[in-house]
Amino acid sequence: MRKRLIVSAASALALLLAVPASAATPSPGAAGVGDPYYPTYGNGGYDVSHYDIRLKYQPATDLLEGTTTILATATQDLSRFNLDFVLDVQQVLVNGRAARFASTGEAELEVTPDRPIAKGSPVTVVVRYSGVPGEVERDGYSAWLRTPDGGVAANEPVAAWWWFPSNDHPTDKATFDVSVLVPDGTQVISNGLSTGQSSRAGWTRYNWRQTKPQATYLATLAIGRFDVRTDTTPSGLPVITAYSKDLGENDGAARASVERTGELVDWLSGYFGEYPFTSVGGYVPNVPTGYALETQTQIFYSPAQFARGANTSVVVHELAHQWYGDSVSVQRWSDIWLNEGFARYSQWLWSEHENEGTAQELADYVYSYYPADNAFWTVKPGDPGADHQFSSAVYDRGAVAVQALRNTVGDEKFFQILKGWPAERRYGNATVQQFQTYAERISGKKLGDLFTTWLFTPSKPAVPSAGAPAKAVAGPASAALPQEPRSWKKIQETNSLHDNGSGHGHGR
């Protein structure tokens, strides 16, 4: 045994001496994954499998302190690598050894380990940090929304920067454990399932676990005084909902909407197939914003969305994202139509189900609503540009594109595609082009012209929705706007607060 060990040590030494001639010199990982809209988002050179986020938060001062442990694998020989983060860092360890670090650029944390990391090897990174996230601004805003009783991290395309260091791009999904210590009487909400809590000396620790792959922007954290409810759907899926104790007049309408989550997720499963995650729910914190976000399993809603009464349409929209956006995520941010076009279309299906206007009527209404010279038609939903990533064209023209697909391939193939795609790409990433290829495979039709017309042409298409019987625009009244579908206003409210196309959604 001993002798063999000596022999193999000798051959290992020979191998080691031979390595420098053939192996690549370790080099820095890229400061971005190469997303054309956001060149610095995410990082190159490694792949994260798990985030363990352990924090302490003080609602009175907005002080957030903690440690995040990242499990990753090097995808190149690394001399150093970046994380994306904006809070103050006190210490970084790489595989247990202190590493040098520096905060650079808009949100880069450059980490230089004391020895290079070989391609393919596992890396454990520990980052110790603190900060007042509500006061740290980038591009004029903070994604950390302060509330009277705490704070919330929910934003798109970026929210993670303000609460944990990460490889912040949808292409690097990971599992998550989130554990937060807060003063007794304050609650903590995050993604997935609660794995228990414990109290000691005036502080309570809450633990949450997401066991399915999750993109960093879909991780959420809410701290405040909540009424938390847990239940299960008839099919046995845990449902967790939470309402700020300060929703005032909006409390009833918020609950009358979000408490229908279980029913609506079951209804959507009929169209999109098996629900991809192990829990579902939503929370309504006391924030002044006007938007919702499809944070994975635990959806973020703003009270303002319930100021005009219950709104099941927005719940349907965010639940649809669990398949279209969360389980199947964009490959690049330019693929946003795969999220918003389908989430909007699901609202049209719900409208049809509720007898408030059919999908075809809504498609025809969108077509007639915007005259050809309206800037609406200059945005290409298939590649809207970073400045128009969330403009209404991505949603509304995007959903007309889905209706045009339906009319071209017929209902049977269409609903086969709608259900098949989330199964085909479950927990992965995809491009608009890959969706087109999939739809062509299932339908047996060439769809290039259709996709070019509806998603990639910066002007109003000549025909309402390809192959559609032009019923809503036919006849002598063809120039007139068709009657407004009853669901129209509610549906528009889903994203009316960022019609300017800003992804930041802060107070606009």
Q: Would you count residue 394 as binding ligand TRP (CB under 6 A)?
A: no
The distance of closest approach from Cβ of residue 437 to ligand TRP in the complex, given in angstroms and rounded to an integer, is: 25
Instruction: Write out the DSSP string of 399-464.
Output: HHHHHHHHHHH-HHHHHHHHHHHHHHTTTSEE-HHHHHHHHHHHH-S--HHHHHHHHS-SS--SSS
Distance CA 258, CA 79 (A): 48
Residue 143's φ and ψ, nearest 5 degrees, are: -80, -10
Of 48 and 343, which CB lies nearer to Zn ion in the complex structure? 343
The distance of closest approach from Cβ of residue 333 to ligand TRP in the complex, given in angstroms and rounded to an integer, is: 11
At residue 242, what is the residue type?
Answer: A
Size of the site for ligand TRP (CB under 6 A): 14
Residue 122 neighbours by CB distance under 10 Å:
12
Residue 169 binding partner per list ligand TRP, Zn ion, none, with a CB distance cut-off of 5 to 8 Å that depends on partner kind: none
- The vertex-164 CA angle with 299 and 144, nearest 5°, equals 55
The distance of closest approach from Cβ of residue 192 to ligand TRP in the complex, given in angstroms and rounded to an integer, is: 19
Q: Would you count residue 343 as binding Zn ion (CB under 5 A)?
A: yes
Of 151 and 503, which CB lies nearer to ligand TRP in the complex structure? 503
Closest residue to ligand TRP using C-beta atoms:
505
Count of helix runs (H) and strand runs (E) in the chain: 11, 21
Taking a C-beta distance cutoff of 8 angstroms, is the pair 104, 54 a contact? no
The distance of closest approach from Cβ of residue 395 to ligand TRP in the complex, given in angstroms and rounded to an integer, is: 7
Partners of 48 in the beta sheet?
72
Strands (E), 266-403: 280-284, 298-300, 329-330
Site string for ligand TRP, 139-178 (x = CB under 6 A): ----------------xx----------------------
Residue 342 binding partner per list Zn ion, ligand TRP, none, with a CB distance cut-off of 5 to 8 Å that depends on partner kind: none
Q: Would you count residue 318 as binding ligand TRP (CB under 6 A)?
A: yes
Q: For residue 434, what are its two tokens?
A: 């890959």
Of 127 and 336, which CB lies nearer to ligand TRP in the complex structure? 336
Q: Would you count residue 498 as binding ligand TRP (CB under 6 A)?
A: yes
Distance CA 34, CA 334 (A): 12
Taking a C-beta distance cutoff of 8 angstroms, is the pair 278, 258 a contact? no
Region binding ligand TRP by CB under 6 A among candidate stretches 45-53, 277-285, 448-456, 495-503? 495-503
Taking a C-beta distance cutoff of 8 angstroms, is the pair 296, 323 a contact? no
Q: Would you count residue 404 as binding Zn ion (CB under 5 A)?
A: no
Residue 390 binding partner per list Zn ion, ligand TRP, none, with a CB distance cut-off of 5 to 8 Å that depends on partner kind: ligand TRP
Rg of the chain over all Cα atoms, to the nearest angstrom: 24
Residue 328 binding partner per list Zn ion, ligand TRP, none, with a CB distance cut-off of 5 to 8 Å that depends on partner kind: none
Site for ligand TRP in 278-317 (CB under 6 A): 291-294, 317
The distance of closest approach from Cβ of residue 338 to ligand TRP in the complex, given in angstroms and rounded to an integer, is: 12
Distance CA 202, CA 464 (A): 62
Of 31 and 330, which CB lies nearer to Zn ion in the complex structure? 330
Distance CA 350, CA 186 (A): 36
Q: For residue 367, what are its two tokens?
A: 């077509």
Residue 244 binding partner per list Zn ion, ligand TRP, none, with a CB distance cut-off of 5 to 8 Å that depends on partner kind: none
Residue 292 binding partner per list ligand TRP, Zn ion, none, with a CB distance cut-off of 5 to 8 Å that depends on partner kind: ligand TRP
The distance of closest approach from Cβ of residue 157 to ligand TRP in the complex, given in angstroms and rounded to an integer, is: 7
Distance CA 193, CA 179 (A): 12
Distance CA 113, CA 94 (A): 6
Of 362 and 466, which CB lies nearer to ligand TRP in the complex structure? 362
Residue 168 binding partner per list ligand TRP, Zn ion, none, with a CB distance cut-off of 5 to 8 Å that depends on partner kind: none
Of 127 and 343, which CB lies nearer to Zn ion in the complex structure? 343
Strands (E), 43-84: 46-58, 63-74, 81-84
Q: Would you count residue 505 as binding ligand TRP (CB under 6 A)?
A: yes
Distance CA 204, CA 223 (A): 12
Taking a C-beta distance cutoff of 8 angstroms, is the pair 363, 341 a contact? no
Residue 364 binding partner per list Zn ion, ligand TRP, none, with a CB distance cut-off of 5 to 8 Å that depends on partner kind: none
The distance of closest approach from Cβ of residue 143 to ligand TRP in the complex, given in angstroms and rounded to an integer, is: 8
Residue 225 binding partner per list Zn ion, ligand TRP, none, with a CB distance cut-off of 5 to 8 Å that depends on partner kind: none
Q: Would you count residue 359 as binding ligand TRP (CB under 6 A)?
A: no
Size of the site for Zn ion (CB under 5 A): 2
What is the arrangement of strands in the sheet containing 298-300, beginning at the earlier edge strand?
226-232, 238-244, 280-284, 298-300
Site string for ligand TRP, 334-353 (x = CB under 6 A): ------x-------------
Residue 326 binding partner per list Zn ion, ligand TRP, none, with a CB distance cut-off of 5 to 8 Å that depends on partner kind: none
Q: Where do contacts with Zn ion occur on this chain (CB under 5 A)?
A: 340, 343
Q: Where does this chain bind ligand TRP (CB under 6 A)?
A: 155-156, 291-294, 317-318, 340, 390, 495, 498, 503, 505
